Amino acid sequence: KNQVEQSPQSLIILEGKNCTLQCNYTVSPFSNLRWYKQDTGRGPVSLTIMTFSENTKSNRRYTATLDADTKQSSLHITASQLSDSASYICVVSLINNAGNMLTFGGGTRLMVKP
């Protein structure tokens, strides 16, 4: 069964601190893995995408890693800002004849406090 598990479910950190979010998946056949940021009441927005051969990808203060052997990914946020408060969703993709089919993790809700 295709599953994506994220941890922790929620996290509170102080502004300026770093944090790391985890994602484990069992999706097969694997195409790629994305991290999305979803602000409350808004649609998700893609932060990073990594294919099987990539093991790290950065986007400003966000750095994602991927270990395709252990089927684990992490999202590291550096020098957090109040605007980082959101849900972060790990999404693993497989491709079939309907286009790309996504399996979503339950998300990690991050709150950055001043």
Partner 1 sequence: SQTIHQWPATLVQPVGSPLSLECTVEGTSNPNLYWYRQAAGRGLQLLFYSVGIGQISSEVPQNLSASRPQDRQFILSSKKLLLSDSGFYLCACSTGVGTDTQYFGPGTRLTVL
Closest distance of CB 16 from partner 1, Å: 27
Q: Taking contact as CB under 8 A, which single stretch among the options 21-29, 53-61, 70-78, 102-110 is the one that binds partner 1?
A: 102-110
Q: Quote the least distance from Cβ 44 to partner 1, whole Å.
A: 5
Close Cβ partners of 34 (under 8 Å, ≥ 6 residues apart): 46, 47, 48, 49, 50, 90, 91, 92, 93
Six-digit token string for 1: 């069964």
Residue 41 is a binding residue for partner 1 (CB under 8 A): yes
Confirm or reject binding of residue 106 to partner 1 (CB under 8 A): yes
Q: How far apart are CA 48 and CA 54, in angstroms?
A: 11
CB nearer to partner 1: pick between 19 and 90:
90
Rounded distance between C-alpha atoms, residue 106 and residue 91, angstroms:
9
When binding is defined by CB under 8 A, the residue of 14, 43, 53, 114 that contacts partner 1 is 43
Burial 67-98 (b: 16+ CB within 10 A, else e): ebeebebbbebeebeeebbbbbbbbbbeeeee
By CB under 8 A, tell whether 79 contacts partner 1: no
Smallest distance from the beta carbon of 79 to partner 1, in angstroms? 27
Q: Which residues, in sequence order, are bridge partners of residue 12? A: 111
Residue numbers at the binding site for partner 1 (CB under 8 A): 4, 31-32, 41-46, 49, 89, 93, 95, 97-102, 104-107, 109
